[in-house]
Structure 1
Amino acid sequence: MYPSAPPDAYNKYSAGAPPTALPPATYQLPTMNTPRTGGGLTRWSTGLFHCMDDPGNCLITCLCPCITFGQIADIVDKGTCPCLASGTVYALICASTGMGCLYSCFYRSKLRAQYDLDEGDCPDFLVHFCCEHCALCQEYRELKNRGFDLGIVFFGKVGPRTWTGRGEVSLERP
């Protein structure tokens, strides 16, 4: 029924030198802002649970997440909606429904789209629903690691901001 194997099929290396081993595969892990070959997305500069990389922001986010959210939203919206307004809307949603994560996950998606960041294993709404404070801290650290000074955004230490096309902020003194 099946064709028989040729007589030397099972010990084809018996007469001669053994096969040489292939060289080990070399590969390079993607770094912080290096695009991956799969889809051109980059990794986040810090992990979701690395909140203690910036303990000051971690404390502020735990006590009053509307401050951190307002800072993130101001940068992501490129100054079109002030930090105070975004933070107030977030606080009102949290106070009335307790579901501020539905509002903040929208900004995580916008941040990922602006910087071609990888979504990871969980969708944005699930990250914010399960780990709201960690997600806000991660987004804050991402913007900070990209050169944004979020303290200037919230506390208004400087005058008007001019947004450049490269995701940077040009600050003008009053």
Structure 2
Amino acid sequence: MANPEESSPLLIKQGDGEGNAKHDEKRSATESGHSCGGSAEWTVDGLPLGHGSVVGEPVARARWDSSLFACLGRNDEFCSSDLEVCLLGSFAPCMLYGSNVERLGSGPGTFANHCLAYTGLYLLGSSLFGWNFLAPWFSYPSRTAIRKKFNLEGSCEALSRSCGCCRGVMEDEVQREQCESACDFATHFFCHTCSLCQEGRELRRRLPHPGFNGRPILVMIPPMEQTMGR
């Protein structure tokens, strides 16, 4: 849309230098506002949003904090928690799975319901097939929920980023989510213990335990005994 001052016939009749000076001053102020970000928008985190950003453009997915086979985690402030996750995943996967689902913010009784159901499927699969065959069918939706909650990349997207394959599937949102859900199931089915441990490490770094109360407590200290001096 053209500038109304430039298209107005009054500017042609005003041939003096004052009109040109005002026009140049206004144009320079407009250009400086665009260049200095005077009309730039800002995100919640305080990051500038450029003028060339496209509304609706998909946000880049983050990577998992630890890899699938990093059984002992990392040597940081969560080292003891990573060791606990590794022990639970190796000897009590039902408790680790119940703890992971509980941290996702479900309602009361979530730990007991998921832990007992997982234990039943674990014992049934171990007695019938000799290995944990049925529990991954029940537990793999937790991995999908963690991906969607924290906008994490899936196995298919990581494979496409590393080797460049399956780019046609990654471009379509519906096909990509179907592929990622299938990869979540395959990860739980073939690497069940490692997937539970990876999810446990990710949740413990991102979410506090639901039973943790971080609100400050006000403690009233009684005044000291006062005596009257002479």
**What TM-score comes out, normalization by structure 1 length?**
0.61
Q: Find the counterpart in structure 2 of residue 140 from structure 1.
A: 200
Q: Find the counterpart in structure 2 of residue 89 from structure 1.
A: 117
Q: Find the counterpart in structure 1 of residue 62 from structure 2.
A: 42
Q: How many Å separate the matches in 2 of 1:126 and 1:113?
A: 17
| Gap change, CA 1:112 and 1:81, over 3 Å in 2 | farther
| Gap change, CA 1:133 and 1:171, over 3 Å in 2 | farther
| Gap change, CA 1:77 and 1:103, over 3 Å in 2 | farther
Q: Find the counterpart in structure 1 of residue 99 from structure 2.
A: 71
Q: Find the counterpart in structure 2 of residue 28 from structure 1.
A: none
Cα drift, residue 85 of structure 1: 1.6
Cα drift, residue 76 of structure 1: 2.1
Cα drift, residue 93 of structure 1: 1.4
Kindly indicate whether the alpha-carbon contact (under 8 Å) linking 2:103 and 2:207 is maintained by their aligned counterparts in 1.
no
Kindly indicate whether the alpha-carbon contact (under 8 Å) linking 2:136 and 2:185 is maintained by their aligned counterparts in 1.
yes
Q: How many Å separate the matches in 2 of 1:124 and 1:117?
A: 12
| Gap change, CA 1:170 and 1:104, over 3 Å in 2 | farther
Corresponding letter in the other structure for 1:109: T
Q: How many Å separate the matches in 1 of 2:102 and 2:215?
A: 14
Alignment of 1:19-168 (within 5 A): 40-53=60-73, 54-97=82-125, 98-121=133-156, 123-149=183-209, 158=211
Q: How many Å separate the matches in 1 of 2:206 and 2:64?
A: 11
Kindly indicate whether the alpha-carbon contact (under 8 Å) linking 2:140 and 2:188 is maintained by their aligned counterparts in 1.
yes
Cα drift, residue 114 of structure 1: 0.9
What stretches of structure 1 of length at least 5 have no aligned partner? 1-36, 162-168
Cα drift, residue 55 of structure 1: 2.1
Cα drift, residue 41 of structure 1: 1.1
Q: Percent identity?
A: 26
Cα drift, residue 171 of structure 1: 7.2
| Gap change, CA 1:172 and 1:51, over 3 Å in 2 | farther
| Gap change, CA 1:78 and 1:102, over 3 Å in 2 | same
| Gap change, CA 1:41 and 1:87, over 3 Å in 2 | same
Q: How many Å separate the matches in 1 of 2:216 and 2:92?
A: 29
Corresponding letter in the other structure for 2:189: F
Q: Choose between structure 1 and 2: higher helix proportion.
A: 2
**What TM-score comes out, normalization by structure 2 length?**
0.47
RMSD: 2.6
